[in-house]
Amino acid sequence: MKNSALARSIAAFALGFAALAAHADAVDTLRAFIRDVNTGRAQFTQTVTSPDGAKKKTSNGSFEFARPNRFRFAYAKPFEQLIVADGQKVWIFDADLNQASSRKFSSALGATPAALLAGGSLDKDFDLVAVPAKDGLDWVQANPKLKDGSFKSVRIGFRGKDLAAVEIVDAFDQRSLLQFSQFTAGVSFAPDAFRFTPPAGADVIEQ
C-alpha cells in the first residue's frame, strides 16, 4: 500500500512537472515567434462574443504581417473592411461607406495584440502567464502592464510553432477569438504590400 501511494505521488509529480514544462515551452514558442518570424500570412475567422455570452458575430478574411509595425487585416464577410498598418499610420477603410480613417501607429495601437504580433515589445508591454493547453493548442496569456488600456488580456495559441489563434478580452469583457488557418511564415512581400491609398472619392479622416 505504501509503495502504491508513493508511486501515485511520483506519477502526480511527474505529470505536474510535465505540465509546467509544456507551459514554459509555450512561452518560449511565443518568444521565438516574435523573435524569428518576421513575415507571415494566414486566413482567419473571427468570432466576437458579448460579455454575457448570448450574442456572437462571425467574420472572416486574410491576415498578413511584416515586422516591424506593418500588417493587413482584410475582412471579406459579412462586410468588407480593411485595416492596414504601414509602419507610420494605421488605416481603416470601410468599403460600404467608402470612408477611410488614419491615426499614427503609436497612438492607434500602443501595447495592443496587433502591435504585439507586428513587432511590439513583450517584456516592456506585457506580463506573460502560462496557461493550460486547450483545444489541441499550447496557450500563452499576455497581460498588458498598462492597466487602463482598451483590453484586459490576450491569449496566443500555437499548434507546434505555428500561430493558430488569438483570443482578446477587451475592457468591456467582450471576447474576440481569431482562429488562423493556412499559416505561412517567411513570406516575401512586394515593397508596397502594406501601403494604403484611399480610393478616389472616399471620405478621408486623419487624426
Give per-residue pLDDT as tens, 131-170: 888 889 999 988 887 777 677 888 999 998 888 999 988 8
Residue 131 has a pLDDT of: 86
User: Cell triple for residue 74?
Assistant: 482584410
Residue 138 is predicted with a pLDDT of 92
Low-confidence winner among 20-34, 60-74, 82-96, 141-155 (lowest mean pLDDT): 20-34
- Looking at the 3D structure of the chain, how many domains does it have? 1
Cα distance between residue 57 and residue 129, in whole Å:
28
Give the H/E segment covering residue 124: helix 122-125
Q: 11 lies in which domain range?
A: 2-206
CA–CA distance from 160 to each of 22, 29, 50, 163, 181 (Å)? 11, 8, 30, 8, 13
Please give the share of the chain, as a percent, with pLDDT higher than 90.
Answer: 24
Residue 61: per-residue pLDDT: 93
Q: Which of 12-21, 52-61, 118-127, 156-165 has the lowest mean pLDDT?
A: 12-21
Bond preceding residue 198 cis, omega within 30 of 0? no
Structure pTM?
Answer: 0.78
pLDDT tens-digit map of 98-127: 999 888 876 655 555 666 666 656 777 788
Q: How far is CA 138 from the centre of its chain?
A: 14
The grid cell for 191 is 515593397
pLDDT for residue 116: 64
Cell numbers for 23: 507551459
Phi, psi of 118 (to 5 degrees): -90, 0
Domain CATH number, residue 59 = 2.50.20.10
16 vs 4, 48, 157, CA distance in Å? 18, 33, 21
Element (H, E) at 200: none
- pLDDT value at position 113? 63
